[in-house]
Structure 1
Amino acid sequence: MQGLKRKRVILACQPCRERKRKCEGGDPCATCREWGYQCYYPTRQRKSRTTQPSPSEEQPQPLSSPKSIQDDGPAESNQSGLIRRLEANSGAAFVRKLGLKIDPAKAPKLNLFGWNIGTRKLSSFAPEIDLPINEITSVAHMRELAQFYFEKVDPCYGFIDRRVFYERLDARWQPALSPINIYGPSMDIYDSVLAGVAAIGCLFSSLPATPTEVQLVRMARCCLERYHLSGPPSVDLLTGWTLRTIYLRLTDTPHTTWIASSTLMHLLEASGFHPEPSEYSVLPHTDDCDPEIKKRLVGVAHHLNIWTSFDLGLSRVSFQKNDLPDIPLSKPGDYTDEILGLLPVSVSLDPGGLKDEIDLTLTLPKLLDRTHTEPPSVLAQCNLVLCVLRRIHTQNLDISSSLAERVLRLLKKGLDCASKMVSSCSPWHQVANVPFQIICVLLTLDTRSSLAMLPEAMKTLSLVASIYDTHTLAEAYSTACLLVMLHQQRRKDDIAILGESLNFRSGIHQTESRTPSQSEFQPSSEEYSWLGALVADLPGLQRVDLDQFLNADMMDASSFWPGGV
């Protein structure tokens, strides 16, 4: 064994240096892989040597090697900043890092908890057969579903001309031999628009999924995927893909939505909608589309693609120039311009931007000053503010107490809007996503005012999970409970350390102080069964030892607040 020598690491990663742990120099190192830390190496320049290096020493080393940091310091710094911004924009990464900070051994897995309501339960069996839209349901039912869409969704994403829609809806149900049926009896690309509007109408009118909704979604997908594109995409095709992306954002998985939103962005570019070529250019451009409809289609596509990309930590689709569309004009009863007015700040948070970090302490007040009237628009504002707060946290910036109070007032408004929306059967994707992310931000802020909002935030998330009884929402609520319990346990551990430090004082006041006995804080059978059911519902929590939460000495709840008495 004397012949074996310990391998000497030239440079340890920064997390291991800070925690004084053994590092073997990998990228990432074994310690960071085991504990889930972000592994990166400090940038430093070596002093120049007086002797000339050999030709072999002049050749650059791979970028992934820690030894090449002295040669590629700026590039490594840019890469580290990119990773930091990706994680700050991603709600999943933020939750994971929050759990690792509280307790690495019990932190929740990397997942976008509560990203939407998830897959709903079917009210009855839906046959897996492809039918034309006029055989799936009647024209009267289609008009009823379209009414739900135009009442609840169109004011937020107003990119469909209602008059044209109803004209083409009535024409689709005309007899095949009638001259009025100018679109023909076979499946047309506009069927994807009719089915997309009706499917979203089903979603906003019924808690369980109906067989009609399932068949409409399947028909719209087949119509879009089987369409043979032989030239610039038409407005009908773009509208159908936008409706499909909206439906997926409300019900499906993040990666499926990201692929659909990216496809939509590429189709928009191919259509010449944005950026529009010069009138003298031979490149394709459309003149037969209403300019306002065009702005709204492009804006909604940007909105969906940007935030799905941010949440997943993946790249968004950006155009070569003039990346942002013009904000559409405001119309009575329509607030699409409010949501699309958030795009400039959203794009400025793009992790891939090579410019310096924007001044978030100046951006945040401007966001809070904006006026958003309707619940979906307010939740979009809250979602952007939450992302800015995550970026501020990663940059170790401080905000004033008055600004923090304004943030908390907006988040409380967002919780109220989420409760109203879910109670009125309006399952926007933010009704679960925003309350869950609010809980995480409140735990991160860790102030008396922020923690005082936790009960309302948990109540809101519980309401959403109870109304839409899906696995996605049950997992989100269970994870929120886990984060709060871990935060509580850490506070208890900190209090125990402080109490132990006071035991070394002289015994003058020892007779006056008394540590509460464990029997005073024994949990009731009801409390223990509730937590046991929580762990049973989510297999990922079964490694949590409930005894350490329930049987440890507990202090008064007022002692958990900073400055509490």
Structure 2
Amino acid sequence: MKRLRLIRIYQMESKYKKTRSPKCTFETEYDDRCHLALSRSPISNTESRVNGASRRDGARSRGRAASPPARKIRASSLEASGGTTSIPLLPLAMSESSGDQLKRKRARVACEPCRQRKRKCNGATPCATCTDWGYNCHYTDQTPRKRRLSQPSPTATASAKPFPPTAAAAAAADSLRSPDEAVPQSSHHQGIARSLEANSAAAFVRKMGLKVDPAQAPKLALFGWNIGARQLPSGTGTISARPIVDVISVADMKQLAEVYFTKIDPCYGFIDRRVFDDRLDTRWQTPLSSSSIYDSVLAGVAALGSLFSQRSMTITELHLVESARSILDGHDGSGPPSLELVTGWALRVVYMRMTAAPHATWIASSTLMHLIEAAGLHLEPSSTTPHDTVPLRPPAATQPHDREISRRLVGVAHHLNIWTSFDLGLSRVSFRTGLPRPAAPTTPGDYTPEVLNLLPASACLDPENSQTDSDLEPTLARVLQGTHTQPPSVMAQTNLVLCILRRLRILNLSITPQVTDQVLVLFGRALSYARAMVTDGSPWHQVANVPMQILYVLLEMDTRASLAMLPAAMQTVTLVATTYDTATMREAYSTARLLVSLYQQRRSEDTRVLAEVLNLAPGGGAQAGETGTEPFSPRVDELSWLEGLVAEMPSLQGLELEPWLQGDVLAGGEGWE
């Protein structure tokens, strides 16, 4: 009996070794076929039943080689080595202890191959049947039946969805939404992309080049973003942070401070001159004292004064920049930032905007905005706040004079962060309280309010803003009507106008001829002021940035009036590049020449095509005279209608129609030649 039992088990193992996967156990099969059969019936009956099942399975496998056996043995794990030896059969007592595992479990969802072949599926991915027979296991989305009111178990959920959703799955889910839900989201994203492209001059120039000549189009970069980093004539040695009293004398410090308050403070006025002079005298009277946070303000003012007084880099300026950087980066941040720390960071961002790379400047400007929020400088004291309410961050400045300084500091920080973010197409830092209140002039030579008054229109150009495209032209008209007297203020106004024009161009929206004339007049003023600032030794970032953008827009406008202004724009770019001979300006100058050259080649090709068209019909005027056709003479109403049409088309402005509408010109007289 024992020998026959082992023989039958060996036959069962041999039969299933011929399948694709030997991962099966004969515990259940033995309980169903062998154990009970051996205890209740003769050996011959068991042998015939097992042999019959083998013959049926063999015939079925020969008839349908791609189908699993009809009586599939429940799968479990075999040996880890691959299954040349079977797991020994468990006794009946041990099998009864694991009765819950031996109960049949029906999968809630069957894969498609098992559904087509009507085979049992365990709901895994891939399932056991597909793994054994090499099928391509996949599931189709099906609506759950209504009679199944209970939620699926976590095990079933995990088996039905074994992988987290991917980007492709998310895109497929978006495609399954209704058109009413998908269209607004798509249009919103497209609007943001268009706004980012228009706000950034780099993307605008790249698109211009691709439109003219894709093979020679400029790369995606901010050309002429500032004058660039200046280099020492004799090379740079080791620069280490030193106390400011060891870097510069008090006389030189006062001289550089005078340059700062003469050239920079009128438009970026966020430092109290009286407090600054007092702290300067006190610092040099106690040179042995340790460096304080206000030393970063002194070093920042001196570095900017050196930048606006020396066209070449000096070793003193490098030490001043390093001293300010070391103090600002070494702040432990144990408490709320002080006004002195925020002022030092603001001076650092102003210096970087004129000399550093765009991304480094954006990071510094974002840090400045976060410091302002942490210090509470953006908060305004409100008289409507209940007395029993304690604000988490009270305003850092409570005195009226300090409050005005804080507003100016926050406004300049907004101005720098907004436009740096726009140029790079990155996010800007905004506060829940919105923009600061408009600043008021404090002295006769204070022009900071002119720059800060541009903040509302600048913030409206944020890609995330809900402003409609139809509001762009009224915004442009308001900006053009603003009062700006100083060169840096006019350059900031021009920079805003250029951004609005790029937005209008991307949207294929035209402006009226009157607004076009105002824009060209502003461009002429900006180019003139840029040349004056270069001659005066004032390397504002707009000195290089605005002339380059004007050149781009003039080429894109492509009218006779705009092309007539191109020589002045190119002359200004050349002057800046020769005065500040940096790698940044050399690249900007080469890019400007490349764009003009590409447009000139396109015009030459267009002229050649037009000449070929004229050569196809030589002597057209003489043939018309020979046939006796009378020359065309337009009526007055037709002429006025055509002039009105030309007036509405900016590309045809400046075209004289009367000579071309005379009878002798149209008839091929002397006027044609």
Contact 2:349/2:365, CA 8 A, preserved across alignment: yes
Contact 1:199/1:216, CA 8 A, preserved across alignment: yes
Partners of 1:385 and 1:491 in 2: CA distance: 27
Query: Which residue of the partner structure matches residue 231 of structure 2?
Result: 121
Give the superposition deviation at 1:253.
0.4
Give the superposition deviation at 1:129.
2.2
Contact 2:239/2:318, CA 8 A, preserved across alignment: no
Partners of 1:63 and 1:295 in 2: CA distance: 45
Pick from 158, 162, 172 the counterpart of residue 269 of structure 2.
158
Partners of 1:250 and 1:64 in 2: CA distance: 47
Query: Which residue of the partner structure matches residue 18 of structure 2?
Result: none
1:110 maps onto 2:225 in alignment? no
Query: Which residue of the partner structure matches residue 204 of structure 1?
Result: 308
Query: Which residue of the partner structure matches residue 397 of structure 2?
Result: 287
1:87 maps onto 2:191 in alignment? no
Q: How does 1:458-477 map to 2 (within 5 A)?
A: 458-477=570-589
Pick from 353, 356, 372 the counterpart of residue 268 of structure 1.
372
Quick one: percent identity of the two aligned structures? 55
Partners of 1:312 and 1:500 in 2: CA distance: 44
Query: Which residue of the partner structure matches residue 369 of structure 1?
Result: 481
Partners of 1:467 and 1:251 in 2: CA distance: 15
Partners of 1:92 and 1:465 in 2: CA distance: 19
Give the superposition deviation at 1:400.
1.2
Partners of 2:480 and 2:462 in 1: CA distance: 20
Pick from 395, 402, 411 the counterpart of residue 523 of structure 2.
411
2:588 alignment partner AA: A
Q: Secondary structure at the match of 1:72?
A: helix
Give the superposition deviation at 1:128.
1.7
1:247 maps onto 2:247 in alignment? no
Q: Secondary structure at the match of 1:359?
A: helix
1:448 maps onto 2:572 in alignment? no
Contact 1:277/1:283, CA 8 A, preserved across alignment: no
Query: Which residue of the partner structure matches residue 77 of structure 2?
Result: none
Contact 2:196/2:422, CA 8 A, preserved across alignment: yes
Aligned residues: 456
Cα deviation digits, residues 192-248 of structure 1 (max 9, x gap)? 000000000000000001000001001101100011111211000000000000000
Partners of 2:142 and 2:487 in 1: CA distance: 67
Partners of 1:234 and 1:355 in 2: CA distance: 36
Partners of 2:230 and 2:326 in 1: CA distance: 21
Q: Aligned pair in 2 of structure 1 residues 450, 74: CA closer, same or farther (>3 Å)?
A: same
2:584 alignment partner AA: T
Cα deviation digits, residues 317-337 of structure 1 (max 9, x gap)? 0112x3110011113101000
Query: Which residue of the partner structure matches residue 487 of structure 1?
Result: 599
Pick from 297, 315, 319 the counterpart of residue 215 of structure 1.
319
1:143 maps onto 2:254 in alignment? yes
1:236 maps onto 2:340 in alignment? yes
Contact 2:366/2:429, CA 8 A, preserved across alignment: yes
2:361 alignment partner AA: T
Query: Which residue of the partner structure matches residue 172 of structure 1?
Result: 283
The alignment yields a C-alpha RMSD, in angstroms, of 2.4
Q: Aligned pair in 2 of structure 1 residues 366, 508: CA closer, same or farther (>3 Å)?
A: closer
Partners of 2:571 and 2:316 in 1: CA distance: 33
Contact 2:228/2:583, CA 8 A, preserved across alignment: yes
Q: Secondary structure at the match of 2:588?
A: helix
Cα deviation digits, residues 269-290 of structure 1 (max 9, x gap)? 1111113476633312223561
Contact 1:102/1:486, CA 8 A, preserved across alignment: yes
Give the superposition deviation at 1:510.
10
1:391 maps onto 2:495 in alignment? no
Partners of 1:461 and 1:402 in 2: CA distance: 27
> Radius of gyration: which is bigger?
2
Cα deviation digits, residues 471-529 of structure 1 (max 9, x gap)? 11111111011000100111111122222222322665799xxxxxxxxxxxxxxxxxx
Query: Which residue of the partner structure matches residue 329 of structure 1?
Result: 440
Q: Secondary structure at the match of 2:343?
A: helix
Q: Secondary structure at the match of 2:285?
A: coil
1:103 alignment partner AA: D
Cα deviation digits, residues 411-467 of structure 1 (max 9, x gap)? 000000000001000000000100000000000000000000000100011011111
Higher mean alpha-carbon deviation, 134-143 vs 62-71, is at 62-71
Cα deviation digits, residues 116-169 of structure 1 (max 9, x gap)? 000112144454222111101111111111010000001011110111111111
Unaligned runs of 5+ in 1: 1-52, 177-183, 512-559
Give the superposition deviation at 1:175.
3.5
Partners of 2:496 and 2:171 in 1: CA distance: 34
Give the superposition deviation at 1:67.
4.7
Q: How does 1:25-44 map to 2 (within 5 A)?
A: none
Unaligned runs of 5+ in 2: 1-140, 145-164, 624-651, 657-671
1:258 maps onto 2:362 in alignment? yes
1:365 alignment partner AA: A
Query: Which residue of the partner structure matches residue 78 of structure 1?
Result: 188
Q: Aligned pair in 2 of structure 1 residues 238, 333: CA closer, same or farther (>3 Å)?
A: same
Partners of 2:344 and 2:256 in 1: CA distance: 16
Q: Secondary structure at the match of 1:109?
A: coil
Contact 1:372/1:378, CA 8 A, preserved across alignment: yes
1:433 maps onto 2:545 in alignment? yes
Q: Aligned pair in 2 of structure 1 residues 264, 246: CA closer, same or farther (>3 Å)?
A: same
- What is the TM-score of this pair, normalised by structure 2? 0.65
Contact 1:63/1:72, CA 8 A, preserved across alignment: no
Query: Which residue of the partner structure matches residue 13 of structure 1?
Result: none
Partners of 1:405 and 1:356 in 2: CA distance: 25
Q: Aligned pair in 2 of structure 1 residues 363, 288: CA closer, same or farther (>3 Å)?
A: closer
Instruction: Identify which of structures 1 and 2 has the higher relative contact order when contacts are C-alpha pairs closer than 8 Å and 6+ apart.
Output: 1
Partners of 2:239 and 2:189 in 1: CA distance: 47
Give the superposition deviation at 1:61.
4.8
Give the superposition deviation at 1:354.
3.5
Query: Which residue of the partner structure matches residue 62 of structure 1?
Result: 170
Q: Secondary structure at the match of 1:105?
A: helix
Query: Which residue of the partner structure matches residue 459 of structure 2?
Result: 347
Partners of 1:420 and 1:315 in 2: CA distance: 34
Partners of 1:470 and 1:404 in 2: CA distance: 34
Contact 2:174/2:182, CA 8 A, preserved across alignment: no
Q: Aligned pair in 2 of structure 1 residues 349, 142: CA closer, same or farther (>3 Å)?
A: same
2:224 alignment partner AA: G
Give the superposition deviation at 1:364.
1.2
Contact 1:303/1:340, CA 8 A, preserved across alignment: yes
- What is the TM-score of this pair, normalised by structure 1? 0.77
